[in-house]
Structure 1
């Protein structure tokens, strides 16, 4: 590593400034200026969906705590301790609440704010933060402890170049996340349309479950599928085999033998009851879930899976404590049933949308891993960057 890289404590480069102590009665569900609380810092970003607001008069009292585009902020207590974010233009106007800190750099010729944003996302920084945060009833860290964190500081031109490289990766992440979000919306809209109106129908009839195509029938779930209880495996759980053990949280282990032959739909019986899972392979289903089976020469299980994911299964909850779903309640669900041919067409359309979402999620995972590797290499000087048409080598 070049001698130009230096070990510096953050306190030599900046001051961490805490937020304003607003009164709880100042907060509104809607208002002029959003308040940045620790709960609004999520996944290296700011999420103001559940933000509280203050009116302009209160915001003016806290004018020294107004944030600007590019500010780097950090959560200093609670479950999100150590999480950081960069203030974006679309987040403004925004004021800083107590227990959230903002980094005020002394001299921008020594430390780039864009570079700082990636330093505080690094595993090295977060590990130092977590060591200091642990110990109380809840995670908590002071401004002084954050300022004592040591970082590696390259020359300013390298800082800017490193930040530019990582920013380009962030742009790819944001674009992929936007594609996923938009495709999820498309899927939701298609499900609502296809599962109630079908494909190409022009004539509809009124039924006890709403308006459906004339050719469709209304059937109770017990008429089109069979529900079987899952079973807790005893002495058959192993590290790996051909048969997964499935619960409402997904894959939870492996069994030496299978309980049910796929395909099937898993629906929670106790605990999580509102997230059906479609399973194609032979597997074991634990006793807190049901397995749904059907004669696929008459009913498409994949179509039924999409219908059940759109149905409010939580409304059938019969327990005041742990959610519970009675088999008879599940059987009593009334289903708008198209022909088998149309069921298959609908499920194929929705499956193609799901595959698009999964492909983009896999892409997002790869890009995140690339960013993680780049940060590890670039922020430590293990890999040097090209600056002013010259490669700075270690």
Structure 2
């Protein structure tokens, strides 16, 4: 096979800045509005014909690429491909999506992408036939990922319905206050024995702060930090109303900022998995939100949290409900791992296919 030529990005595409569209003029219609972060709303008119590709020029989606298979309105927060210069549109999308545009920021503190700055980028350019083959193969990974994500969404809806049916709407269940089985604990790290600093998020539960903030966020002196052990619960009183409460499962122990509330359950009275599922329910989140106090920064003390009521059948029934809901969550988690694997595989394929390290068979032109 012939070696691919190396060309400038400006030889592959012609880019143009999108158009302004004031909020008062954003009338809903059949055409998606596509900006830096991708589709956001719809409009009655389109200013770019499909197929199209948009690169985030500024804002949250800076440097990201988005493919549009319908006519759309290109916002001024993005650069859209005005001319594909006889290249395959989907291949161009993958080519742009694989490039790291962050090093070409021309806007200083506020990131901005200037087309003249990125036109000189050197890329490999295969023939149309190979472009088509590459685009088709990578599209298969996108389709598999999308279908799996749609399945996850459906499974999440089913889990929520079952959670409501078995716990929240279990009218026959007796109710009890949380303080009937939960106890606040406040063990301080006086000896400095624990050095693993943790925090609690509303989406990932317990995390290392450096994983969330890309740096360690903690006091140099950890002696006043609260110790949390595996199986115990903790929450940030000023963020519990948005779901920042979790059980420690990923580590044996750690320490939390003194602002956190740590508590444990009497598992002779409540199944911990059952209680964790209840915390995920709409009913629990709404009750927690309603109990928040403070006009400026809503907080929930442990006394307020422990005054909440929870549907509490006998422990055998709790365990049965928890096993069933655990199975639903495990299935969702496995599907999530599949999505992560598909995305990793696709990224690896892009690195090989878009540089010509791996070639796909195409029919050679007759000489």
Instruction: Note whether the superposition's TM-score is higher than 0.5.
Output: yes
TM-score bracket, normalised by the shorter chain, equals 0.7 to 0.9
Residue number in structure 2 paired with 1:206: none
Q: CA deviation at 1:139?
A: 0.6
In the alignment, the residues of structure 2 paired with residue 218 and residue 106 of structure 1 have an alpha-carbon distance, to the nearest angstrom, of 64
Matches within 5 A, 1:251-330: 251-252=207-208, 259-273=227-241, 274-280=243-249, 282-286=252-256, 287-310=258-281, 311-312=284-285, 313-330=288-305
Q: CA deviation at 1:93?
A: 5.3
| Equivalent position SS for 1:168 | helix
Q: CA deviation at 1:229?
A: 3.5
In the alignment, the residues of structure 1 paired with residue 194 and residue 157 of structure 2 have an alpha-carbon distance, to the nearest angstrom, of 39
Residue number in structure 1 paired with 2:183: 226
Q: CA deviation at 1:385?
A: 1.7
| Equivalent position SS for 2:304 | helix
Alignment RMSD (CA, Å): 2.9
| Cα pair distance change 1:144/1:234, threshold 3 Å | farther
Residue number in structure 2 paired with 1:116: 92
Residue number in structure 1 paired with 2:53: 72
Whether the aligned pair in 1 keeps the contact of 2:227 and 2:254 (CA below 8 Å) is yes
| Cα pair distance change 1:130/1:346, threshold 3 Å | same
Whether the aligned pair in 1 keeps the contact of 2:107 and 2:113 (CA below 8 Å) is no
Q: CA deviation at 1:76?
A: 0.9
| Equivalent position SS for 1:381 | coil
Q: Does 1:96 align with 2:74?
A: yes
Q: CA deviation at 1:237?
A: 5.0
Matches within 5 A, 1:327-338: 327-338=302-313
Residue number in structure 1 paired with 2:215: none
| Equivalent position SS for 1:154 | coil
Residue number in structure 2 paired with 1:241: none
Q: CA deviation at 1:149?
A: 2.6
Residue number in structure 2 paired with 1:145: 117
In the alignment, the residues of structure 1 paired with residue 128 and residue 30 of structure 2 have an alpha-carbon distance, to the nearest angstrom, of 38
Whether the aligned pair in 1 keeps the contact of 2:34 and 2:54 (CA below 8 Å) is no
In the alignment, the residues of structure 2 paired with residue 347 and residue 323 of structure 1 have an alpha-carbon distance, to the nearest angstrom, of 31
Residue number in structure 2 paired with 1:247: 199
Q: CA deviation at 1:197?
A: 3.5
In the alignment, the residues of structure 1 paired with residue 128 and residue 194 of structure 2 have an alpha-carbon distance, to the nearest angstrom, of 56
TM-score w.r.t. the length of structure 2 is 0.83
Residue number in structure 2 paired with 1:345: 320
| Equivalent position SS for 1:362 | helix
Question: Pick from 137, 142, 159: which aligns with 1:170?
Answer: 142
Whether the aligned pair in 1 keeps the contact of 2:16 and 2:79 (CA below 8 Å) is yes
In the alignment, the residues of structure 2 paired with residue 99 and residue 261 of structure 1 have an alpha-carbon distance, to the nearest angstrom, of 47
Whether the aligned pair in 2 keeps the contact of 1:265 and 1:305 (CA below 8 Å) is no
| Equivalent position SS for 1:194 | helix
Q: CA deviation at 1:101?
A: 2.1
| Cα pair distance change 1:236/1:314, threshold 3 Å | farther
Q: Does 1:81 align with 2:51?
A: no
5+ residue gaps, structure 1: 199-211, 239-243
Residue number in structure 2 paired with 1:136: 108
In the alignment, the residues of structure 1 paired with residue 103 and residue 80 of structure 2 have an alpha-carbon distance, to the nearest angstrom, of 20
Q: CA deviation at 1:370?
A: 1.0
Whether the aligned pair in 2 keeps the contact of 1:265 and 1:301 (CA below 8 Å) is no
Q: CA deviation at 1:21?
A: 2.7
| Equivalent position SS for 1:386 | coil
TM-score w.r.t. the length of structure 1 is 0.77
5+ residue gaps, structure 2: 211-221
Q: CA deviation at 1:106?
A: 4.9
Cα deviation per residue 1:98-137 (whole Å; 9 max; x = unaligned)? 23222133542xx211211110111xx22xx222215423
